[in-house]
Amino acid sequence: MLRLTVEPLDLGPEVRAVGLELVDGETEEPVADGEAAELWSRALEALAGEQTCVLDFVAHLDRVREFCRQNDIRFRETAAGGIVVTETDAEARARLLERFAGETFGARAGEAAASGDDSLEKELRRVGLDAYQEAYPQYLFCAICELETGSVTLVSEQLWASEVARRLRPALREFPVTVEMLM
Tens place of pLDDT for every residue, the chain, 183 residues? 999 999 999 887 777 899 999 999 999 999 988 899 999 999 999 999 999 999 999 999 999 999 999 999 999 999 888 999 999 999 999 999 999 999 999 999 998 898 889 999 999 999 999 999 999 999 999 999 999 999 999 999 999 999 999 999 999 999 999 999 887
Q: Give DSSP secondary structure letters for the chain.
A: -EEEEEEEEES-TT-EEEEEEEEETTT--B--SHHHHHHHHHHHHHHHTTS-EEEEE-SSHHHHHHHHHHTT--EEE-TTS-EEE----HHHHHHHHHHTTTS-EEEEESHHHHH--HHHHHHHHHHGGGGHHHHGGGSSEEEEEEGGGTEEEEE-SS--HHHHHHHHHHHTTTSSEEEEE--
Residue 124: per-residue pLDDT: 94
Going by C-alpha positions, the residue among 91, 90, 89, 61 that lies closest to residue 76 is 61
Please list the residues that pair with 76 across neighbouring strands: 84
Nearest-5° angle of CA 76, CA 78, CA 83? Answer: 55
Residue 14: per-residue pLDDT: 77
The CA distance from 141 to 138, in Å, is: 8
Instruction: Tell me the pairing of strands 177-181 and 2-10.
Output: parallel
**Inter-residue contact 39 to 172 (CB < 8 Å):** yes
Whole-model pTM: value is: 0.94
pLDDT digits (tens, 9 = 90+) for 120-164: 999 999 999 999 999 999 999 999 999 999 999 999 999 999 999
The CA distance from 29 to 12, in Å, is: 28
Distances (CA, A) of 182 to 71, 101, 113, 140: 37, 25, 29, 22
